[in-house]
Amino acid sequence: MPRTMVSINIDRLADALVDLKTPHYWDVKKHKVLAGEDGESTRTVLIDTLNTRKLRKLVTDFSKLLDTTDAKSVQEIIKTGLDKFPKLLEKSPKLEPMWMKFAGQELAKAAVSWLELQGIEKYFPTGNLAKHISKRTGKIRHGDEEE
């Protein structure tokens, strides 16, 4: 029996992969991210965060693109703890779109890999990061591939 395509918000999954402070869980039945709660533990899976070294490199490279004031704020986060990075993005609305533009493809790639590890290969990606993912294959798009 063929399974129906489910809609998955890639942005929420990417946020969970970057948030080192709050545990996030994947609701297996509803196909969505739950922040800070595991609900019924038999139907949720803990979402692993990005490797700290990889996240540190991404954030460090991102800081090099910013003006002095914003770069200083990001560098301070790198020194004091990457777990504060999502809060900095929330506080500074102009940084979040810049971050998504800079790290979007890498975050989408990590989200797709995590979904594949869970055995989820057929889905309809939604959210801003969905533009990095082919709606036909669920794989990362490269260059200017047409849908």
- The residue range of the domain holding 119 is 6-132
Q: Give a yes or no: residue 142 inside a domain.
A: no
Q: What's residue 132's pLDDT?
A: 86
pLDDT tens digits, residue range 3-47?
678 899 999 999 999 999 889 999 988 888 998 866 566 688 999
Print the SS3 string covering the chain. CCCCCEEEEHHHHHHHHHCCCCCEEEECCCCEEEECCCCCHHHEEECCCCCHHHHHHHHHHHHCCCCHHHHHHHHHHHHHCHHHHHHHHHHCCCHHHHHHHHHHHHHHHHHHHHHHHCCCCCEEEECHHHHHECCCCCCECCCCCCC
Number of domains in the chain: 1
Q: Give a yes or no: residue 147 inside a domain.
A: no
Q: Give a yes or no: residue 116 inside a domain.
A: yes
Q: Give a yes or no: residue 49 inside a domain.
A: yes
How high is the mean pLDDT of the chain?
Answer: 86
pTM: 0.83
